[in-house]
Chains A and B, each alone.
Chain A
Amino acid sequence: MSEPATPEASADADADTDATGRTDTDEQAAQRHEAATRVPGTGADAVVASLEAAGVETAFGVQGGAIMPVYDALSASTVDHITMAHEQGAVHAADAYGIVRGDPGVCMATSGPGATNLVTGIADASMDSDAMLALTGQVPSTMVGSDAFQETDTVGVTAPITKHNYFASDSDDVGRTVGEAFALANTGRPGPTLVDLPKDVTFGETDRPVGEPTPPKRSVPDPEADEEQVEAAARAIEQAERPLCLFGGGVIKGDATEEARAFAREFGIPVVTTMPGIGSFPEDDDLCLSWAGMHGTGYANMAITHTDCLIAVGTRFDDRLTGGVDTFAPEAEVVHVDIDPAEISKNVHADYPVVGDAATVIDQLDAAIGYAEAPDPEEWRAQCAEWREEYPMDYAIDADEPVRPEFVVEAFDAASDDDAYVTTGVGQHQMWAAQYWTYRHPRTFVSSHGLGTMGYGLPAAIGARIAADDDRQVISFEGDGSFLMTIQELSVAVRENLDITVVVLNNEYIGMVRQWQDAFFEGNHMASDYDWMPEFDTLAEAFGAKGFRIDDYDDVEDAVEGALAYDGPSVVDAHIDPEANVYPMVASGAANGLFALSEDQL
């Protein structure tokens, strides 16, 4: 490692903008500078100083033997620590915090089981390109490799699911390493990083200031795309008769929603998003066809099947989006904009690769499209509108039947603010929350996409709540199965008195599994029937939260109003139609255009 920056040298650095491009108030910048230049004392002090220098306000974690020195140092720090009930809660909370803030979330755990409990959430963050820093305790260096008490090869275990990870081996370097890991997490394509902290390294003495957090130089990609690539892509877009924008999570992560929206509107190009891209384009806009893929709307899937020019920004063409690659947008020339060159032509061949930062590249594209040649695909828009009429996202309700889950989602949407945050578990409820809620803003749909982690919703709601401004609502849609996986975090929500509303779409099944069993396993409900579910409203009260219950349509209004009005954590146990299934559905590996509208079409 190079020598620490001298105080003068770091003072020269632009104090208003950190390595991750975030802007601070003068006071925050001064605080961070103070932390960067402070003489630490121990390795643990350096770790904490490094977090402060990075502007970290909150960390989520669970104590333990190997991480104790860091916690000890944290007690005298400006960084708030939220003790979670389980490390999985800590990592999902940090993940969601990072999504909402646009800055890496930080989670901490002790060695061994603490670290392994983080693994699911790190993998989750990795699949969704979420910036996150995980700090794990480790047994003293001298005992590493001896199968000591609570030892796990954390660096080995997490290597494939982190953007990069570090084993700290020196008290003098540990602070800089943490800074580098933090900055790296948010550089280029975001992702989780991890620093493993042996106890002797955090206990050891050091007098070396940590400096500003800086990513390794080589990892900072050029935001601007090659002019030739841009020109070629611009010509292709001009030629298109049926252009379609496909906005992925990268548009949100890259803070490119403004540019993306302006681009689509300027040329009147219809927009579909991926599921992680929900919120990149307002879903109540006429150009927006919502999201495409396995449970995306019929009209989005029709549009993606028939486009002749797909302008894909910040998406990795996940198989839940593409279905079978052979039939994916089969007539489209693909313009693929991504900051990560390894995504180009990984799953779907890019006819026009454009490597660069989403916001910068969209502006470049916009400038390169000649106004005389600019597309205005009126007929295509009319066709898309027609599909919207043909494949409505509606549902039939009968007052005598159990409550439809879609109705519950819409009821909460109608009663809450336009900029509320929604988090989810994984399963049918996640799909209904994505389909029947109208998202208008980036970062408002916080969900587990790539890994599909049940149990994500509640800890994510906690992280989002802590990250969000107080006046914005946080609502978590849960399945009964998903909720039960991390329900212990309700204790944290109560302790911190967090104003969140958990809506359990309770079907007494792990419903998504049951839906697949109905479709592909002749209705054999092996291990998917969860009729032993607790009374979630009563259970919520036992935790000290407020419980509500929905059994029929008459209960909906009171529960919605009561839960949203309650200032603290509330849980709505919504007993929904246990047989309700999610449609449309593209069978895995099938063509997007073959989406089923009901079970007999599968």
Chain B
Amino acid sequence: MSREAERNEAAEETQDATTDGGTTHPAESPLTERARPADEEKPTTGLSGPRPEERPHPTGRRDEHGVRKEPDHGPEPTRRATVSALVEDEPGVLARAAGLFRRRQFNIESLTVGPTTVEGHSRITLVVEETEAGIDQAKKQLAKLTPVIAVGELSDDAVAAELVLLKVRGQEPDKVHAITSMYDGQTLDAGPRTITVQITGDENQIDDAIDAFHQFGIIEMARTGQTALERGDSPTTPGEEPGHSADDTEDDEFTNYDD
């Protein structure tokens, strides 16, 4: 027998049972608390109660970050933040950080990594362009990763630098050399057809230098992305102190999230 036919037959049997009075209505069964017998007034599918438009509705709203807002609130502005994370130098830590940012679709401008004064620790420097709430989340999520020791956001006057290698056409070596010196760069390789130079500086200096080299025709270029440290005595990440070695670094000194 098909399932359909079986179902119909089952339904018929129920009918028989009810018509000959053998069954109490299930709504009256002591088993159930809330069932009501079907009647014409109440809907048989769905629930009873005032319809959506008959209900009171508050007028307030929140923005996309869940902040209560004024009705004509514009889009959130973004800003650029440099975030520094001190991490345990274990395999996969960079992949974890990068994976986290990929998944949450943070807008990363650059990401660099390298050793610190403490053996076994590395520093990841990230530049992100995000809303205030986005930057806050980026820092908190990073701090959650188990190998991350501390996370800090750098102030505007932090020291930041980047390195770029530029390979340009070699027809005008003197001019190339002059511009390289102007940017305090170095010539790393000079041949009859190409000249490769290295420039370091903050992001604006690098951008300017690249503009200046465009006149020669840039054949290839490699930029490292920014790395940065806080100026003066301020630690770059909370609790970080200069010149520690792993042995005398007490884990306790570090907070796991930015305060």
**A345 in contact with B66 (CB, 8 Å):** yes
**B61 in contact with A341 (CB, 8 Å):** no
Contacts A159-B96, A325-B64, A331-B60: A436 and B34 contacting too (C-beta < 8 A)? yes
6 tightest CB-CB pairs across the interface, nearest first?
A598-B46, A330-B60, A348-B66, A342-B140, A164-B146, A396-B38
Tell me which of B47, B92, B145 contacts A394 (CB under 8 A).
B47
- Is B31 in contact with chain A by the CB < 8 A criterion? yes
- Is A402 in contact with chain B by the CB < 8 A criterion? yes
Interface residues of A in 383-440 (CB under 8 A from B): 390-402, 404, 406-407, 410-411, 414-415, 436
**A159 in contact with B95 (CB, 8 Å):** yes
Give CA–CA (A402, B45) in the complex, Å. Answer: 13
The tally of residues in A whose CB lies under 8 Å from a CB in B reads 81
- Is A546 in contact with chain B by the CB < 8 A criterion? no
Q: Which residues of A contact B145 (CB under 8 A)?
A: 164
- Is B204 in contact with chain A by the CB < 8 A criterion? no
Interface residues of B in 59-76 (CB under 8 A from A): 59-68
Give CA–CA (A580, B3) in the complex, Å. Answer: 18
Interface residues of A in 559-602 (CB under 8 A from B): 560, 575, 579-581, 583-584, 591, 593-599, 601
Chain B's closest residue to A402 (CB) is B11
Give CA–CA (A305, B221) in the complex, Å. Answer: 56
**A159 in contact with B62 (CB, 8 Å):** no
Give CA–CA (A342, B67) in the complex, Å. Answer: 16
B157-173 toward A: CB 8 Å interface, digit per residue (1/0)?
A: 00000000000000000
**A400 in contact with B58 (CB, 8 Å):** no
Q: Which residues of B contact A399 (CB under 8 A)?
A: 14, 18, 23, 25-26
**B60 in contact with A599 (CB, 8 Å):** no
- A173 nearest CB across to chain B (Å): 12
- B74 nearest CB across to chain A (Å): 15
A interface residues (Cβ-Cβ under 8 A, vs B): 155-156, 159-160, 163-164, 167, 184, 216-219, 221, 298, 302, 305-306, 317, 322, 325-328, 330-331, 334, 340-342, 344-349, 390-402, 404, 406-407, 410-411, 414-415, 436, 508, 531, 533, 551-554, 556-557, 560, 575, 579-581, 583-584, 591, 593-599, 601
Max chain B Cβ within 10 angstroms of own Cβ: one of A167, A396, A414, A575: A396
**B37 in contact with A184 (CB, 8 Å):** no
- A409 nearest CB across to chain B (Å): 10
- Stretch of B48-56, B111-119, B229-237 at the chain-chain interface: B48-56
The tally of residues in B whose CB lies under 8 Å from a CB in A reads 72
Q: Which residues of B contact A407 (CB under 8 A)?
A: 26, 31-32, 35
Q: Which residues of B contact A159 (CB under 8 A)?
A: 92, 95-96, 99
**B47 in contact with A583 (CB, 8 Å):** yes
- Is B254 in contact with chain A by the CB < 8 A criterion? yes
**B35 in contact with A341 (CB, 8 Å):** no
Contacts A396-B37, A407-B26: A557 and B99 contacting too (C-beta < 8 A)? no
**B46 in contact with A184 (CB, 8 Å):** no
Contacts A216-B146, A396-B44, A410-B34: A391 and B3 contacting too (C-beta < 8 A)? no
Q: Which residues of A contact B205 (CB under 8 A)?
A: none
- B47 nearest CB across to chain A (Å): 4
**A397 in contact with B35 (CB, 8 Å):** yes
Give CA–CA (A394, B36) in the complex, Å. Answer: 7
- Is B197 in contact with chain A by the CB < 8 A criterion? no
Give CA–CA (A184, B146) in the complex, Å. Answer: 9
Give CA–CA (A74, B143) in the complex, Å. Answer: 36
